[in-house]
Amino acid sequence: MLTAEQIEKNWGEFCENIETYISSPRKEKLLEFYKKYEERIMMMPAAHKKEYHNSFPGGYVDHVNRVVRCSLQQANLWGVEGADMSTFTEEELVFSAINHDLGKMGDEENESYIPQTDKWRKDKLGEDYMFNKQVAFASVPDRGLFMLQSHGVQYSFNEMLAIQTHDGLYDDANKKYLFTYLPEQKPRTCLPFILHQADLMSARIEFEREWLPRLKNSVPPQKENFILTTESKKSTKDKALSQLESKGLKDLFDKL
Ligand SMILES: [Fe+2]
Q: Which is nearest to 138 in space by CA: 109, 110, 106? A: 106
Q: Which residues pair with 111 in a beta bridge?
A: 106
CA of 53 to the centre of ligand 1 (A): 9
Q: What is the mean pLDDT of the chain?
A: 88
Helix (H, G, I), strand (E, B) or coil at 167: coil
Q: What is the mean pLDDT of residues 87-106?
A: 98
pLDDT band at 256 (very low <50, low <70, confident <90, very high): very low
Distance 231 CA to ligand 1 centre (A): 56
As a whole-number percent, the residues of the chain with pLDDT over 70 amount to 85
Please give the residue that has the higher pLDDT: either 25 or 113: 25
Q: How far from the centroid of its chain's Cα atoms is residue 35's Cα? A: 24
User: Which candidate, 162, 160, 174, places its Cα nearest to that of 74?
Assistant: 162
Cα(105) to centroid of ligand 1, in Å? 12
How many whole angstroms from 199 Cα to the centroid of ligand 1? 5
How many angstroms separate the alpha carbon of residue 45 from the centre of ligand 1? 11
C-alpha distances out from residue 204 to 5, 53, 218, Å: 24, 8, 20
What's the pLDDT tens digit per position in 224-238? 554 444 444 444 445
Mean pLDDT of 113-122: 90
Q: 58 in the Ramachandran plot: left (φ > 0), alpha (ψ -120 to 50) or beta?
A: left
Distance 167 CA to ligand 1 centre (A): 8
Query: What band does 48 get if pLDDT is binned at 50, 70 and 90?
Result: confident
**Side-chain half-sphere exposure of 255, counting CA atoms within 13 A:** 5
How many Å from the N-terminal Cα to the C-terminal Cα in the chain?
55
Predicted confidence (pLDDT) per residue in 189-240, tens digit: 999 999 999 999 999 999 999 999 989 887 665 555 544 444 444 444 455 4
pLDDT digits (tens, 9 = 90+) for 136-183: 999 999 999 999 999 999 999 999 999 999 999 999 999 999 999 999
Output the pLDDT for position 221. Answer: 55
